[in-house]
Structure 1
Amino acid sequence: MYKLRGHHLLCLLGYRGMGYSAEYIENMTHLHHILRTKPDTIIHLVDGPDHLCKKYPNSGKYHCQDIHIYKRDELILEKLALHEGQKVQWKEIEESIRNYVNPSDISYMCETCSWRSYGVCEEGIHDIHQGKGLRKVK
């Protein structure tokens, strides 16, 4: 079981092997691969730092505790009809994305995200809508 916060559910859709540090990328790639190949994996939805935050580089401002990130988490969980404390399979999260999220929702849900300009999260949502699941990271 992996602990994930709300916004990371969408970050995983757009993940293409880029990140904040080599250690962060290795951690994210590992989790991404597990979820892509084992969609029955249980995710415990948490409020605050999670499995991915553990490897956020210890340099500069630690954005994982920023109030804006908490608000983004809350907005995304609400949009997905999920809630903090819930334990769900990754495939159920993908189903919620199919049912409740459109690619254009990224523009307001993740408005201040520095990764948004790449457009990969919208592509990831589109892939989920088509039943493709997570893209393989090269």
Structure 2
Amino acid sequence: MYKIRGHHLFCLVGFRGMGYSKEFAENMKRIHQELRKNPKTLIHIIEGIDQICEKYPNCGKYHCQDENIYIRDKQILEKLGIQIGQTLTWEEIESRIQKFATPEDIDILCESCTWRSYGVCKAGIQRILNGEGLWEVNK
């Protein structure tokens, strides 16, 4: 089981191997590929620092504690009809994305995210909507 915060559900969908540091990207890839291979993996939704944040590099301001990140968590969870404290399979999360999300949600919910400009999250949501699941990441 992974402990994941709200906005990282969309980050996982868009993940293509990039990250804030090599250690961060490798951790994200490990989690991402486990979910890709085993969609019945349990995800416990938490508030605050999760198993992705814990590898954020020590390079200045720690954005994982930024108030705007907590707001983004809340908005994405509300969009998907998920609450903090719930435990779902990754498969169930993908189902909620199919039911409640669109690629255009990234422009609104993730407006201030620096990764948004790459377009990978919008494309990742479209993959989920198409029933294609998470990308295979070879980096």
Q: How does 1:7-86 map to 2 (within 5 A)?
A: 7-86=7-86
Amino acid at match of 2:80: L
Partner Cα separation in structure 2 for residue 54 and residue 125 of structure 1: 25
Amino acid at match of 2:104: S
The root-mean-square deviation of aligned C-alpha atoms, in Å, is 0.4
Aligned residues: 138
Shift of 1:58: 1.0
Amino acid at match of 2:125: I
Shift of 1:68: 0.2
Partner Cα separation in structure 2 for residue 104 and residue 55 of structure 1: 28
Deviations 1:55-106 (A, max 9, x none): 0001100000000000000000000000000000000000000000000111
Partner Cα separation in structure 2 for residue 92 and residue 54 of structure 1: 24
Deviations 1:101-125 (A, max 9, x none): 0001110100000000000101001
Amino acid at match of 2:56: Y
Shift of 1:3: 0.4
TM-score between the two structures when normalised by the length of structure 1: 0.99
Partner Cα separation in structure 2 for residue 101 and residue 85 of structure 1: 21
Q: How does 1:85-104 map to 2 (within 5 A)?
A: 85-104=85-104
Amino acid at match of 1:87: T
Question: Which segments of structure 1 move beyond 6 Å, counting only runs of 4 or more?
Answer: none
Partner Cα separation in structure 1 for residue 135 and residue 16 of structure 2: 8
Identical pairs, percent? 57
Gaps of 5+ in 2: none
Shift of 1:25: 0.7
Partner Cα separation in structure 2 for residue 136 and residue 126 of structure 1: 15
